[in-house]
Amino acid sequence: MTFLRKPRHGISMRIVGRVALLLVCLYAGIAATYSVRFLNGIERDAQTAREEQIPLILSQNRNALKIERAASLIRSVYLAHDRKIERQIQLQLQTLCQSFTLDENQTLIDGARDIAASVKVIVSTREASRKLRDPDGAEMTAEIETQIKNTDTASAEAYQRAILTADRLSETLATDAVALADSMASTIGSAAREVKLGWTLILTLPVLFLVVTLWVVSRHVMAPIGAAVARLEAISSGNPEGAAPRTPIFHELATIADAVEAYGALSSDLSRTNTLLKILSDRDGLTGLANRRSLQGVLDATFQAAKSGGPDLGVMMIDLDHFKAINDTYGHNAGDACLVAVAAALQRFEEKDGVHVGRYGGEEFVAVVSGRDREALAALAERVRGEIMALEVLSENGRRISLTTSIGVSHLAERPLDGVHRLVSEADAALYQAKREGRNRVGFAEPAGPYDIPKRNRQA
What does the pLDDT look like over 17-54, one tens digit per residue?
677 777 767 777 776 776 677 667 677 767 776 777 67
CA angle 449, 452, 457 (to 5 degrees): 160
Does the structure show a pLDDT above 90 at 427? yes
As a whole number of Å, the end-to-end CA separation of the chain is 55
So which residues are the catalytic ones? 363
Find the radius of gyration of the CA atoms of the chain. Answer: 32
Distance of CA 428 to the CA centre of its chain: 32
Q: In angstroms, how far apart are the furthest CA atoms of the chain?
A: 107
What is the predicted pLDDT for the residue at 251? Answer: 66
Does the structure show a pLDDT above 70 at 265? no
Question: Mean pLDDT score of the chain, rounded to an integer?
Answer: 79
What is the predicted pLDDT for the residue at 120? Answer: 82
DSSP type of residue 450: E
Give the closest residue to 342 by CA, choosing from 282, 384, 296.
384
Give the closest residue to 38 by CA, choosing from 266, 161, 192, 177.
192
| CB neighbourhood size of 443 (10 A) | 27
More confident: 104 or 143: 143
Range with lowest mean pLDDT among 68-82, 133-147, 388-402: 133-147
| CB neighbourhood size of 230 (10 A) | 13
pLDDT bucket at 144, cuts 50 / 70 / 90: confident
pLDDT digits (tens, 9 = 90+) for 204-241: 666 676 677 777 777 767 777 777 677 777 766 666 66
Distance CA 167, CA 20 (A): 55
More confident: 258 or 157: 157
Domains and CATH numbers, the chain: 13-279 (no CATH), 292-452 (3.30.70.270)
More confident: 108 or 359: 359
Range with lowest mean pLDDT among 170-179, 262-271, 321-330, 412-421: 262-271
Does the reported pTM lie above 0.75? no
Distance CA 120, CA 112 (A): 12
Give the closest residue to 270 by CA, choosing from 167, 182, 165.
167
Does the structure show a pLDDT above 90 at 138? no
| CB neighbourhood size of 408 (10 A) | 28
Amino acid letter for position 303: F
* Coil vs helix vs strand at 315: strand
b/e burial code for range 11-40 (CB count within 10 A of at least 16 → b): eebeebbeebbeebeebeeebbebbeebbe
